Amino acid sequence: MASGISSRPRASRNAGARLAELQEFIEHEANLLDEQRFDEWLKLFADDGVYWVPARPGQESPLTHVSLFYDDKPTLKIRVERLKHPKIHSQVPRSKTVRLVSNFRLGPPTGAPAEHCVSSKFVLLEDRPGVERRLFGGRYTHRLRVVPGGLRIVSKRVDLTNCDQFFPSLTQPF
Amino acid sequence: MSNFSNEYLRGLVLEDRVHRSIYTDPAIFELEIERIFGRVWLYVGHQSQVPNPGDFFCTTLARQPVVLSRDREGAIHVLFNRCGHRGARVLSEECGNARVFTCMYHGWSFQPNGELAGVPMRRDFPAETLVDPQFGMVRLPRVESYRGFVFASLNPHVKPLAEYLGEAIRGIDELVDRAPEGDVELWAGCHRYEYRGNWKLQFENMADMYHPAAAHASTVGPDGRQFKRRSGGTGGDAPFFAANGEAVVAQTGVRGFQGGHSSEASLFREEQAGGVWDEYRALLVAKHGEERTREILRNRRHSMTIFPSVDILIAQTSVRVIRPVAVDRTEVQVYPVRLKGAPAQISIDVIRFVNITHAAASFIQSDDLEAFERSSQGLATSGTDWVLVARGLGSEVDEGNGVSFGDRSSEVGQRAQHYAWRDLMSVG
């Protein structure tokens, strides 16, 4: 209700506007992945950005335990080149995916004035002809940096509910 | 009891081909569990997975749940993960530490060495039943270790482990010798992948130097080099194609060993060098001298595959464990290895590189998993019954001690696996 929103304190209003902006960015990112626009997805990452999918619940570090994905930007670039390669056999035929993202929450504070942490929950459905339907779910934690003209991903952490179980071949980033 | 005669089973593996039913027939799979997995040495885990008294690590051998444990005196045991009372599986976490292992069903508890520790309302049982060791957590008939790698066998009459490994034991040495302290540690958890296919597809793949040009085509960049798959200023990546257009890996040699083990020559020519690698090398030189260090660091083997349970990945500094689940289902775990005494950065780099080579989401493994599943689909066709393993047949060199060498990505390693399979399966 409009009256309810206008009565909220300024800080909260600003946080609400900020969250809406971050949410829109994350939904845009999910859409790029669903549409397999991987080059554009890659460009969302800051040059020092990382994409991390731990292999253990609550994993504290990617340096002392294996991860399903732990890609710095150069590695992510190789991944994207491979996803576009005509001979990526595990994508013949290609997967179709849909991601639903919700429960967006701001915080905790990052300590950097131009960087924001936002968590969300997602469900990812992956279909590929001839392969059993796959369903994944979990939590995204994005650290996003405000840059001229938009936002960049400083880190994207994906905590899958089944991260410590056996996986079939995975090609689609979560 | 088998529905197959020994002669029939023997006929499923010829010199240059194998029958497709060995990948697809559930009855043959059941017989493999008995005659292969029930007869030979199987890798259980590494001693570093149970460093302290009371530590346990659960896995499966021949589909049976077992526990690797360390008792109060520091001795290592391999127990069936089964309560001595009514048979429930006792431990359900994969690993942990406990003073005693307690069954959830009626509260019986067991020492980490398998002995019965506690029985609620004990006096209502006839006293003599509770002293019988078969009502504890029973130990596997045979357990032996080599340089921290623990193996067990369900067969009380299995030959000694060193004899079973034969020349393949050198693969374990090659990995462990690279640790300045002469010991390794599985410290960083493991990758876990599974596929809809027979376990032998993974084993053959580990001796297969012929497939990368086609199967891993998407890992080669526009400059003709494969992505860098291990750390170091030099010695980390390699050109994918030779001057004549063949894949470099397809020109490397393979060895097949008596007992079904196999090994591929290393893809790398140069020592890993630069930065922390120089520091690491200096540690080895200080301990062993220059000549021995050069010998230790020589790029000799890419991996050593020990039939039918484990692959020692030397170039990638890790250990891969293969567990059959069903005729068409296999689970695999890949553990990065820490070389004890080496600079910490080396172990961190191993983790990072194994993420991109052997995770379910990695650049290499995802191609192989696709190949395993497509093989399963293709092998279900009835047009022909035979699967060819003839590459390099007739040009092997007998190196003695049960080792056969074949150059140019010979299928000699796969043949060694199949011949071992035949010899085990055709004895009733």
Using CB atoms, pick whichever of A63, A69, A89 lies closest to residue B361: A69
Distances (CA, A) of B401 to A50, B41, B67, B206, B417: 49, 19, 34, 22, 16
Q: Do B361 and A87 touch (CB under 8 A)?
A: no
Give the model confidence (pLDDT) of A14-71 as tens digits: 888 899 999 999 999 999 999 999 999 999 999 999 999 999 999 999 999 999 999 9
Closest chain B residue to A162, measured at CA? B192
Quick one: which of B182, B146, B171, B169 has its CA closest to B284? Answer: B182
Question: How far apart (Å, rounded) are the C-alpha atoms in residues A54 and B188?
Answer: 12
Token output for B75 = 């001795």
Q: What angle do CA B275, B347, B363 make, to 5 degrees?
A: 95
Nearest to A90 by CA among B272, B193, B16, B274: B193
How many degrees, rounded to 5, is the angle at CA B13 between CA B12 and CA B14? Answer: 115
Residue among A166, A170, A171 with most chain B CBs within 10 A, to mutate: A166
Interface predicted TM-score of the whole assembly (ipTM), two decimals: 0.94
Chain B residues whose beta carbon lies within 8 Å of the beta carbon of residue A166:
192-194, 331, 360
- Are B64 and B122 a contacting pair, CB within 8 Å? no
d(CA A11, CA B240): 57
Q: Among all residues of chain A, which has the CA nearest to that of B215?
A: A89
pLDDT of residue A9: 67
Return the pLDDT at A98. 98
Residue B193 · residue B365 · CB < 8 Å? yes
Separation CA A41–CA A83 (nearest Å): 12
Residue A63 has its nearest CB partner, among B351, B366, B369, at: B351
For chain B, domains (ranges, CATH) are 43-146 (2.102.10.10), 167-425 (3.90.380.10)
Residues present in chain A in total: 174
pLDDT exceeds cutoff 60 at A6: no
**Contact yes or no for B218 and A85 at CB 8 A:** yes
Q: Return the pLDDT at A168.
A: 96
Q: Closest Cα of chain B to A81: distance in Å?
A: 8
Q: Are B229 and B357 in contact (CB under 8 A)?
A: yes
Residue with tokens 């079939």: A168
- Strand pairing category for B64-70 and B55-61: antiparallel
Query: pLDDT per position in chain B (428 positions), as tens?
Result: 578 999 999 999 999 999 999 999 999 999 999 999 999 999 999 999 999 999 999 999 999 999 999 999 999 999 999 999 999 999 999 999 999 999 999 999 999 999 999 999 999 999 889 998 899 999 999 999 999 999 999 999 999 999 999 999 999 999 999 999 999 999 999 999 999 999 999 999 999 999 999 999 998 877 777 877 777 777 767 778 888 989 988 999 999 999 999 999 988 888 888 889 999 999 999 999 999 999 999 989 999 999 999 999 999 999 999 999 999 999 999 999 999 999 999 999 999 999 999 999 999 999 999 999 999 999 999 999 999 999 999 999 999 999 999 999 999 999 999 999 999 999 98
3-class SS at A66? coil
Asked if B219 reaches chain A (Cβ–Cβ under 8 Å), the answer is: yes
Nearest-by-Cβ selection for B354 from A56, A66, A165: A66
Q: Which residues of A touch B363 (CB under 8 A)?
A: 78-79, 82
Neighbours of A130 (CB within 10 A): 8
The answer to whether B404 touches B248, Cβ cutoff 8 Å, is no
B321 at the A interface (CB within 8 A)?
no
Task: Please report the pLDDT score of residue B313 as a whole number.
Answer: 97
Q: Exposure pattern of A44-68 as b/e (b: 16+ CB <10 Å)? A: bbbeebbbbbbbbeebeebeebbbb
Chain B contact set for A164 (CB, 8 A): 192
Q: Which residues of A touch B369 (CB under 8 A)?
A: 90, 168-169
What is the sign of the dihedral through the CA atoms of B207, B209, B212 and B215? negative
φ/ψ of A44, rounded to 5, equals: -70, -20
Q: Which residues contact A160 (CB under 8 A, 6 or more apart)?
A: A53, A68, A136, A137, A138, A174
CA distance, residue B149 to nearest chain A CA (Å) = 20
Express each pLDDT in B36-69 by its tens digit.
999 999 999 999 999 999 999 999 999 999 999 9
Contact flag A85-B371 (C-beta cutoff 8 Å): no
Judged by CB atoms within 8 Å, which residues 55-84 of A form the interface with B? 55-56, 62-71, 75, 78-79, 81-82
pLDDT at A2: 45
C-alpha–C-alpha distance, residues B180 and A78, integer Å: 33
Say if CB B292 and CB B283 are below 8 A apart: no
Q: Using CA atoms, how far apart are residues B225 and B148, in angstroms rounded to an integer? A: 36
Residue B21 forms contact with A (CB below 8 Å): no
| Residue A9 buriedness (CB in 10 A; 0-12 / 13-18 / 19+) | exposed
Q: What is the reported pLDDT for B1?
A: 57
Is the CB of residue B61 less than 8 Å from the CB of residue B154? yes
Alpha-helix residue ranges (DSSP H) falling in B181-260: 199-205, 212-215
Of B65, B36, B7, B30, residue with least CA distance to B203: B36
Residue of B369, B374, B376, B377 to mutate, interface with A, max A Cβ within 10 Å: B369
Return the domain boundaries, chain A: 2-160
Looking at 3.40.50.11400, 1.10.533.10, 3.10.450.50, 3.40.50.920, the CATH number of the domain A2-160 comes to 3.10.450.50
Per DSSP, helices labelled H in B289-398 are 290-297, 344-358, 365-379
Q: Give pLDDT tens digits for A137-170.
A: 999 999 999 999 899 999 999 999 999 999 999 9
Facing residue for B194 by CB, picked from A66, A75, A166: A166
B214 vs chain A: nearest CA distance in angstroms? 8
How much is the pLDDT for A7?
Answer: 56
Mutate which: A52, A89, A158, vs B, most B CBs within 10 A: A89
Which of A66, A78, A169 is facing B227, going by the closest CB pair? A78
